[in-house]
Amino acid sequence: MELHFEELLASITDFIKSEAKTETVVGEQFKLGEFICVPVIKVGLGFGSGGAEGTESKKGKGQGMGAGAGMGIEPIGFLVTKGEEISFLEATKAHGLAAAFEKVPELIEHLAENRRKEKEAELV
């Protein structure tokens, strides 16, 4: 049996690339009224591997290998844009993401009011 650390590392790396995306954790960017919200994540990764081969006079030749990886993915907030303004809403602080969701009804009211004014202006 040949030890192929490069192939094993490439397979694990490809798996991590496919899974460590905002789309798999939080979702894709979305539009909320005039705001565009882009989720941001933090990825932590640990990897270890080892292998050995040897011979013992009475038992013959032996070899072995092992590898492991661990990954932690955490949503940390949103980049929020409105026109040319960009801000970051943190999800980890109580006022970050909670504050964003608390503003949703206010944003919806604001959008409804703007549409009402636009329709009134069209009628005049």
Taking the C-alpha atoms of residue 73 and residue 26, their distance in angstroms, rounded to an integer, is 10
Per-residue pLDDT, 21 = 75
Which one, of 49, 41, 36, 43, lies nearest residue 16 by Cα?
43
**Contact of 56 with 12, CB cutoff 8 Å:** no
**Contact of 89 with 44, CB cutoff 8 Å:** no
Per-residue pLDDT, 94 = 54
Taking the C-alpha atoms of residue 20 and residue 44, their distance in angstroms, rounded to an integer, is 10
Tens digit of each residue's pLDDT, the chain (124 residues): 455 777 877 887 788 778 777 777 677 888 888 888 888 888 888 877 777 888 776 777 777 777 777 888 888 888 898 888 888 888 766 555 566 666 677 777 878 888 888 888 888 7
pTM for this model (two decimals): 0.48
How is the chain split into domains, by residue range? 5-123
**Contact of 65 with 50, CB cutoff 8 Å:** yes
